[in-house]
């Protein structure tokens, strides 16, 4: 059984359809990308998968996360499956962390809730999570407020928070978009390494094809709430079929070409 199976997912806000008949599956350890421009419905798909759509939006279709129906099941069942199975890393680490809570406490919260850790064991787990995202000065980071950390450090803290409970599915919603280019590469490597080390399935949401190519295998290109093309990312890049996918690939190539040209001159 797939870890996550989505079939016919549709999200509506009043009369507007924001996500339209989206289907895909994610198996244990898979790397799946949802690629699309702003407003294509990829983030809403991620929220619908965890059963946490913003108020006013309704989902229909079927979403099964570890066998639990995330649309129809009672809230108690959905909560029980969310914490141990799934975690999310968001685009903007500044709003993904509570500005008034020290980083250590934020990482501790899910550990306490999901793994039931307390006291010294909890503290050790927080520090282990920080070391895992390659933050060395764990004491200082744990005691810092989000605004005292750099963007890259904040995103590492957010990742530490997400992976601390060893989720089997990590949803990364444009995790590098708000970061400097050099930091982006580090964060991508980190996600890649952690997912491999723990066998975590990765749902990677981005609008950036080169970024996606670094970490994912199976790809679904979304446009206007629909999946317009699916397949391994290598064949999508080599032979894009849908016009939108072609535009994505072309624009990425154009950057590459510009870079080459500049280097030659």
Nearer to other proteins, 70 or 215 (CB): 70
83 lines the binding site for other proteins (CB under 8 A): yes
Nearer to other proteins, 74 or 232 (CB): 74
**Footprint of other proteins on 9-38 (CB under 8 A):** 13-14, 36-38
166 lines the binding site for other proteins (CB under 8 A): no
DSSP 112: I
Burial class (CB in 10 A: 0-12, 13-18, 19+), 202: buried
183 lines the binding site for other proteins (CB under 8 A): no
> Binding other proteins by CB under 8 A: which of 11, 161, 213, 216?
161
Residue by residue, DSSP assigns 33-95 as EEEE-TTSSHHHHHHHHTT-PPTTEEEEEEEEETTEETTTS-HHHHHHHHHHHEEEE-S-HHH
205 lines the binding site for other proteins (CB under 8 A): yes
| Three-state secondary-structure class, residue 31 | strand
Nearer to other proteins, 16 or 262 (CB): 16
Single out the residue of 151, 162, 161, 211 nearest to residue 31, CA to CA: 211
Q: What residue has token string 């995103």?
A: 155
* Tokens found for residue 86: 């799934």
> Binding other proteins by CB under 8 A: which of 174, 204, 215, 223?
174
Nearer to other proteins, 59 or 86 (CB): 86
Question: Helix 119-132 to helix 103-110 angle, to the nearest 10 degrees?
Answer: 110
CA 257 to each of CA 38, 61, 132, 185: distance values in angstroms, whole numbers, following the listed order: 25, 43, 37, 20
Which of 130-138, 156-164, 233-241, 245-253 is the region at the interface with other proteins (rule: CB under 8 A)?
156-164
Question: Helix 119-132 to helix 151-163 angle, to the nearest 10 degrees?
Answer: 130
245 lines the binding site for other proteins (CB under 8 A): no
Which of 25-33, 106-114, 124-132, 235-243 is the region at the interface with other proteins (rule: CB under 8 A)?
106-114
Query: Taking the complex as a whole, how short is the minimal distance between the CB of residue 156 and other proteins, in angstroms?
Result: 15
Nearer to other proteins, 31 or 78 (CB): 78
Q: Which helix (H) or strand (E) holds 163?
A: helix 151-163
Nearer to other proteins, 50 or 200 (CB): 50
Query: Taking the complex as a whole, how short is the minimal distance between the CB of residue 94 and other proteins, in angstroms?
Result: 5
Contact set with other proteins (CB under 8 A)? 13-14, 36-44, 47, 50, 52, 54-57, 79-80, 82-84, 86-88, 90-92, 94-101, 106, 109-110, 113-114, 145-148, 158, 161-162, 165, 173-174, 205, 207
């Amino acid at each position: 059984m797939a870890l996550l199976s989505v079939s016919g997912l549709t999200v509506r806000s009043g009369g507007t359809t924001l996500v339209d008949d989206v289907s895909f599956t994610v198996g244990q350890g898979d790397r799946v990308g949802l690629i699309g421009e702003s407003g294509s419905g990829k983030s809403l798909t991620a929220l619908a998968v965890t059963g946490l759509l913003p108020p006013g939006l309704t989902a229909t279709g079927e979403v099964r996360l570890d066998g639990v129906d995330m649309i129809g099941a009672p809230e108690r069942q959905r909560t029980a499956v969310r914490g141990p199975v799934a975690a999310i890393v968001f685009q903007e680490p500044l709003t993904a962390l509570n500005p008034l809570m020290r980083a250590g406490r934020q990482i501790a919260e899910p550990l306490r809730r999901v793994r039931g850790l307390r006291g010294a064991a909890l503290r050790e787990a927080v520090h282990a999570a920080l070391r895992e995202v390659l933050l060395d000065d764990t004491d200082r980071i744990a005691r810092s407020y989000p605004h005292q950390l750099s963007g890259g450090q904040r995103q590492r803290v957010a990742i530490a928070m997400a992976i601390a409970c060893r989720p089997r599915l990590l949803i990364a919603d444009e995790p590098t978009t708000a970061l400097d280019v050099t930091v982006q590469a580090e964060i991508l490597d980190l996600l890649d390494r952690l997912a491999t080390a723990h066998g975590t399935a990765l749902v990677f949401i981005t609008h950036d094809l080169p970024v996606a190519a670094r970490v994912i295998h199976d790809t679904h290109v979304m446009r206007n709430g629909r999946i317009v093309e699916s397949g391994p990312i290598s064949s999508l890049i080599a032979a894009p079929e849908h016009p939108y996918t072609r535009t994505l690939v072309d624009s990425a190539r154009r950057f590459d070409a510009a870079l080459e040209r500049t280097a030659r001159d």
